[in-house]
Amino acid sequence: MSRARISRRFALTLAAAVAVAALWPASTALAREPVPQLTATAAIVVDANSGATLLARHATARRSIASTTKLMTAHLVLERARMSQVFTAPAYNPGPAESLIGLRRGERMTVHDLLTALLLPSANDAAWDLAYNVGGGSVGRFVRLMNREARRLGLRHTHYANPIGLDDPRNYSTASDLARLAALDMRDRAFARIVDRSHATLKSGSRTRVVINRNDLVGRYGYVDGVKTGHTLQAGYVLVGAARRGGASVISVVIGEPSVARRDADSIALLRWGLRQYRRVSPLRRGRAVASVPIRLHSGHAQLAPARSFSLTVRRGTAVRVRVRAPERLEGPLPAGARAGRVEVLAGGAVAGSVPLVTLSKVPGPTLLKRISSVLRGVLVVLAALLGVLACTLVALRLRVVRRQRASSAR
């Protein structure tokens, strides 16, 4: 049988849509992890891919957010400037104890190095330089762009007063909005590469500079890959964190921490807790049969297996099962590896992936005895049909004769 014919038979067959028993039902999930005890005034941990909230505490309350404001500054710069562009620094008058890289007025530095200075040591002069140049020579215009972008992204509880994060009643956000913005930023490869570094060397500018990431979790934990710290008197210690392991990716936010130590402790507790809410499963293995299909005009069955292995990461408690969609039967000869239907992986009832089914070995053609038997059955069917037609004809002729005889008798 040709593959096209197999496909037609497959399309017509609903009976072959067999739901295989769930491989990882919810009952196999591990016991619920204890919720971290936090000192933060607001916190959240979310799935970085879906945006689903895993744990929240006052996550929609408006708070001062300090230098995590720079997540929006970086977001706009990545949208509106090239990493290779060179900006000329404007004058900047810092307040006491601000984080700086010591940019001088007129100093020229690449956007890449300015972003690195913005995100790792949280340099305020780098933030001012970027905002001034992307804003077309106006930091105020850049701030208006920040607020317009916040509205466009649906950050309903966020407002910016400056591109740095200096304390201002009009500069605020929420743990929920920060997590959402960080997840968007982390999808940009350039951004993600920068915030996943413990230190960096800035080679443009008037001199070489080495900068250190204030988010020390990145250097201490291999699975932590971002994103941004912040601190002011009003905001306290703030950290937006990110972690990835085993296919799971989570974002955490803590606001209003009393110290760097508590900021780090709460953040790593949230990230670990978030990652433990997921598990990696492999419902399909290449070469492992998932269906057995009768072979037409043959006494055997063809074993069907996925053409490739399939793994996925799911939240604990999510049932994962496979659904086989195969032809009612196959007709050989077919080589090993011939496609014959597909198998779907369902997670929580939704299709998470589909893999073609292939024959594990050669599918033999009809045996001589089966072929003869099939021919004889065909002949018998034809004979039976002919006999039926003959019988009907004889009956009709007999009825015609009877009617004529009755007609003659009546005269």
Q: Which amino acids are annotated catalytic? A: 67, 70, 122
Burial of 52 (0-12, 13-18, 19+ CB in 10 A): exposed
Beta bridge partners of 123: none
Q: Could you give the 3-state DSSP secondary structure of residue 184?
A: helix
Three-state DSSP at 321 gives: strand
Nearest to 226 by CA among 164, 176, 271, 165: 271
User: What is the enclosing helix (H) or strand (E) of 96?
Assistant: none
Q: How far apart are CA 200 and CA 329, in angstroms?
A: 62
- Tokens for 161? 């007063």
Name the 3-class secondary structure at 336.
Answer: coil
CA–CA separation, 141 and 150 (whole Å):
14
Phi and psi (nearest 5°) for 114? -65, -40
Is residue 280 a contact partner of residue 246, using CB atoms and an 8 Å limit? yes
Q: If we measure between CA atoms, which residue out of 157, 185, 189, 188 comes closest to residue 173?
A: 157
CA 212 to each of CA 129, 216, 230, 306, 382: distance values in angstroms, whole numbers, following the listed order: 19, 9, 14, 48, 88
Residue type (1 letter), 116: T
Residues 6+ positions from 265 with CB-CB distance below 8 Å = none
The helix/strand/coil state of 361 is coil
> Following CA atoms 203, 207, 210, 212 in sequence, which dihedral angle do they give, to the nearest 10 degrees?
-100
Nearby residues of 278 by Cβ (< 8 Å), 6 or more positions away: 246, 247, 248, 313, 314, 315, 316
- Alpha carbons 340 and 353: distance in angstroms, whole number: 17
Cα–Cα dist 19/24, whole Å = 14
